[in-house]
Amino acid sequence: MNKLALVTGATSGIGAAFAERLAADGYNLILVGRRKERLDEFAAAHPEVSVASVVADLATDDGIATVADLAASEPLDLLVNNAGVAHYMPMADLPADKARELLSVKVLAPTLITRAAVGPMQSRGAGAIINVAGMIAFSGPADKSLMPRRATYAGSLAHLVAMSQALSAELDGTGVQVQVLCPGVVATEFHTRQGMDLSAIPRMTAADVVTAGLRGLELGEVVAAPGVEDMSLLEDVFRADLAAFGGQSTELATRYR
């Protein structure tokens, strides 16, 4: 029997690359996106696998509920939370409706869809969840001269990192894997929809990001960073996080007295 994967944001970029790779690997697919014509084109081009197309807007409560219901009811072997939205701007310039859309798509949707999938996966003793974030999640301390101002976007990705790490620890020993996939700059429609021309900047292909994510599952990586050769750099970050967490006291630190 073919394995079953659910991929959100499947109509372009990394989500479309996941759909292509998983179809080639023989998965049956539940593909979620806002553009019905692209979902239909993919299904027509891949008659060799079962493709269920779900038109849903994960910026809405109804869209999230539709996909969460599928995650809870279908016997998923793999869930890929990839849906994204290109609201990449300073917080003061970000309209409230766009901020709400960004947080719904990148925080609320993957959280609730993951929550729906976890219980059934635990009951079956198997399954994997990939939450697609990005290396920008680690860019918080960067000066604005080094990185574009993007507080809301960076914060949403940082949520996915922390949630995935904590959930992986919760699920240790259950047979369910959790990964947060953190690419750098990727050659997709994301930046063109934002009106940004990055054609002169080297970018990773979406297919390579997918390869890293799936190989990262085989390696047991909780944080998969496709473009980072020396993983000790991230391991140092995680050790420093735990050291800071463990270094607290009930006494007020001297510098605050």
Q: Which helix (H) or strand (E) holds 224?
A: strand 223-224
- As a whole number of angstroms, the distance between CA 87 and CA 167 comes to 27
Known catalytic residue at 27: no
Q: What are the two backbone dihedrals, phi and then psi, of residue 24, each rounded to the nearest 5 degrees?
A: -65, -30
Contacts of 34 (CB under 8 A, 6+ apart): 11, 55, 56, 57
Q: What are the two backbone dihedrals, phi and then psi, of residue 174, each rounded to the nearest 5 degrees?
A: -95, -15
Structure tokens given for 78: 């793999």
Task: Output the DSSP codes for 82-147.
Answer: -------S-GGGS-HHHHHHHHIIIIIHHHHHHHHHHHHHHHHT-EEEEEE--GGGG-TT--TTTS
Residues in the chain: 257
What is the C-alpha end-to-end distance of the chain, expressed in Å? 65
C-alpha triplet 91, 93, 95: angle, nearest 5°: 90
Residues with a known catalytic role: 153
